[in-house]
Amino acid sequence: MNPWTLRDLERNDIPRILEIERVSFLTPWTEEMFRTQLRFRDRAVTLVLVEDGVITGYTAAWIAADEMHLLSIAVSPAERRAGRGSALLEALLERGKARGCERTLLEVRETNEGARRLYRLHGFREIGKRRGYYADTGEDAVIMEHRRGE
């Protein structure tokens, strides 16, 4: 059995989430962005993965009508490649399904081969590109889509 559990983000989790965020992304989310996720619980989903009382990963999404948009997913560097990203992604897709979402969309940096592979393994398909999407490097984003039931 996996040594972790998944649950919704709580206010007190934010400092730990920010630690993971800062070592995972070139342009990390701010505290305010996570607070916004909590403020709009009717439209936002933010899940954390916890083991021995410590958060080692999280994912955040936004739901609009029957569509979910995956905004972010990260696992603490020392804990990667052991199924945590997959567990977070599957739990998020389940949550979307329970909320009536027909599809989930996301953008990923073109050079982020690891994440693109993870998404493909979980049924996402690459459906297009957004040119110069990332303001920090000017990199293109690949748009990926997951349809309910796939």
Ligand X SMILES: CC(C)(COP(=O)(O)OP(=O)(O)OC[C@H]1O[C@@H](n2cnc3c(N)ncnc32)[C@H](O)[C@@H]1OP(=O)(O)O)[C@@H](O)C(=O)NCCC(=O)NCCS
88/82 Cα distance (integer angstroms): 12
Residue entry with tokens 């560097």: 77
CB-based contact 25:134 (threshold 8 Å): no
**Scanning the structure block, which residue is given the tokens 């009508």?**
65
- For ligand X, the binding residues in 104-133 under the rule CB under 6 A are 108, 112-115, 117-118, 121
Structure tokens at 141: 């984003």
3-state class of 32 per DSSP? helix
> Is residue 92 a contact residue for ligand X (CB under 6 A)?
no
Does the protein bind ligand X through residue 27 (CB under 6 A)? no
143 lines the binding site for ligand X (CB under 6 A): no
Answer for which of 16, 69, 80, 148 binds ligand X (CB under 6 A) is 80
23 touching ligand X, by CB under 6 A: no
Contacting residues toward ligand X, per CB under 6 A: 24, 73-75, 80-86, 108, 112-115, 117-118, 121
